């Protein structure tokens, strides 16, 4: 049985953890790109966090601690899935084919609609290590040290992955930027500065 101090500490832990549920779900959606998988990942993360609640120091960065657990759970699950062979389904006629996929997830589509489709596609097309770094930094505004902790790599590696990931995005989205007027706006600003200086 827990002491009064431990009960109070556990209540504070629960409150801090629950305050991060939306951020955890958003991060899980970006990693898995499927509502059910994201919910499973968040559930697994919370289960692991509750099992280790005494290891967390109250008042430190709960979000970073939970994101680390979530990211490691995601990587572990992905490795297990990659290691398994997909078994074809055989019907009564003896025909075998791949397992049918589920319908597109409307909530996932709605979530992705916050960003233009071309941007989402460009982010999803990045190699996973670059995509994860870009999503954590640019969409979730995490610091280099937090990302390094989540990914289990040095900060220098995070900076390198962000640089390369952003360069790949820049190359993929150049036409989009011109179409939306982003590049022209930069050129116009530079011309204004030159005119003011001249």
Percent of the chain scoring above 90 in pLDDT: 25
Tens of pLDDT, residues 74-121: 878 877 776 664 555 555 555 544 444 444 444 344 334 434 567 767
Give the C-alpha separation, 183 to 176, whole Å.
9
pLDDT at position 109:
41
Cα–Cα distance between 171 and 58 in angstroms, integer?
A: 43
Q: Which of 1-10, 48-57, 84-93, 119-128 has the lowest mean pLDDT?
A: 84-93
* Choice between 180 and 47, residue whose per-residue pLDDT is larger: 47
CATH topology of domain 115-198: Arc Repressor Mutant, subunit A (1.10.10)
Residue ranges covered by each domain of the chain: 1-85+103-114, 115-198
* Model confidence band, residue 17 (pLDDT cutoffs 50, 70, 90): very high
Q: How far, in Å, CA of 37 to CA of 39, rounded?
A: 5
Architecture of domain 1-85+103-114: Orthogonal Bundle (1.10)
Among 55-64, 106-115, 138-147, which stretch is predicted with the lowest mean pLDDT?
106-115
Residue with tokens 């280790």: 52
Q: Is the pTM of this model over 0.85?
A: no
Tokens of 164: 């390369």
């Amino acid at each position: 049985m827990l002491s009064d101090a431990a009960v109070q500490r556990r209540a504070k832990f629960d409150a801090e953890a629950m305050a991060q549920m939306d951020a955890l779900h958003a991060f899980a959606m970006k990693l898995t790109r499927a509502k059910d998988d994201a919910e499973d990942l968040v559930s697994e993360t919370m289960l692991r966090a509750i099992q280790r609640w005494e290891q967390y120091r109250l008042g430190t960065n709960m979000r970073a601690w939970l994101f680390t657990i979530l990211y490691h759970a995601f990587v572990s699950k992905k490795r297990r899935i990659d290691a398994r062979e997909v078994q074809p389904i055989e019907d009564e006629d003896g025909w075998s084919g791949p397992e049918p996929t589920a319908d597109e997830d409307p909530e996932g589509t709605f979530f992705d609609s916050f960003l233009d489709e071309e941007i989402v596609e460009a982010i999803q097309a990045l190699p996973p290590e670059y995509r994860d770094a870009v999503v954590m930094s640019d969409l979730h505004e995490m610091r280099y040290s937090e990302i390094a902790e989540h990914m289990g790599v040095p900060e220098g590696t995070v900076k390198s992955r962000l640089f390369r990931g952003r360069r790949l995005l820049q190359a993929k989205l150049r036409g989009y930027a011109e179409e939306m007027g982003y590049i022209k706006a930069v050129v116009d600003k530079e011309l204004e500065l030159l005119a003011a200086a001249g």
